[in-house]
Structure 1
């Protein structure tokens, strides 16, 4: 019951947050028609949102930098296990989804290919298995071609904690 209450309060704050943001935008917009006082009030209301966005963006960049640093540390000091990519089972689900693009002048519908590939690996490690699961949003045929060309990759494992690991699939990003 406590978690449900927390979720409801969180949802309520989200709507209050959005309401104040829209009010600030509206007041600012009205002020642009010639009322400087409304422009100032709109800026005062919107300023905390700008600061919040800046802080959130900084947190995201810091998290990405920390993740990249952790990956580099694993690559440098971690144990390396070669993973054969040639016979990896790929569970795939692909479909077309219609997307509507609406503008003032036209209403256009286009199809977008959605690819959902699940790869689950059990890699033997010191008498145990490391279970590795990942989703790759790429055409299945192209993914299989990448795996066939590359043939093998490396799983980097932290020497102190086998749950800290990194499967090097950076070749898929090129």
Structure 2
């Protein structure tokens, strides 16, 4: 009888397991996964390169050099960069470096051709004579072209400070 009880117990256990799984049920639901990414631009990730005209004799004309801004903007985000008048200019066409009370005029341009149409302006936003670009998601170098039309001024070390403003 032991064998009979063992077979009966095994059969009863199998029926109990089968009956338990027959009562299992499932239910499903859905949910959203979301993110809102806003455009961002950084013009200070890497320090800019100064526009340094070096040492020049007082007889030099059209002294050219360039510096650079470094920009990192969200991929595909449009941006503009404006350059102010500096510390001694009243508008973008009258930028001047100073040494005491002496002033030396200079100009900053968006293109190496350095034409009047290339003058880099101070109008922030999407209009005016500003530099326009599109973000790549990594650092982009934006050249700043400079020119001193004449160095026929008193000897000295001249300087100015320009503020660059990025709008995106």
Structure with higher RCO (Cα < 8 A, 6+ apart)? 2
TM-score of the superposed pair, with normalisation by structure 1: 0.19
Relative to its length, the structure with more helix (as a share) is: 1
TM-score of the superposed pair, with normalisation by structure 2: 0.20
